[in-house]
Amino acid sequence: MFGCSTDPAEVNQRFQKELGVRFAILSDEGGEAAKVLGILGDTGHAKRTTYLVDALGAVREVWYDVKVDGHAAAVTKAAAGLS
């Protein structure tokens, strides 16, 4: 599991420390990956999106415009269904 943000690496590192996040957060500061994925917003920030990728690298599910409440449970349930 990893995250990706259009924020600079320093901001992502601070966010990780403040919240105790134990996974990597990559920096797509120029927004190139977000553009390719079609999730770059008008503000230059990526829209909150989650991709569930299986062991073979296939995208199995995508959640767009993610809201925090209940999201982790939904992704965990979907991931459990892959095995």
Give bridge partners of residue 46 from the DSSP assignment.
40
Q: pLDDT value at position 1?
A: 86
Give the Cα separation of 13 and 24 in Å (integer).
Answer: 9
* pTM over 0.85, yes/no: no
Task: Write the DSSP string, 7-25.
Answer: S-HHHHHHHHHHHT--SEE
Is the pLDDT at 73 greater than 80? The verdict is yes
Give the Cα separation of 82 and 33 in Å (integer).
Answer: 26
Q: pLDDT tens digits for 12-55?
A: 999 999 999 999 999 999 999 999 999 999 999 999 999 999 99
Mean pLDDT, rounded, for 73-83: 92
Q: pLDDT value at position 83?
A: 74
Higher pLDDT, 82 or 83: 82
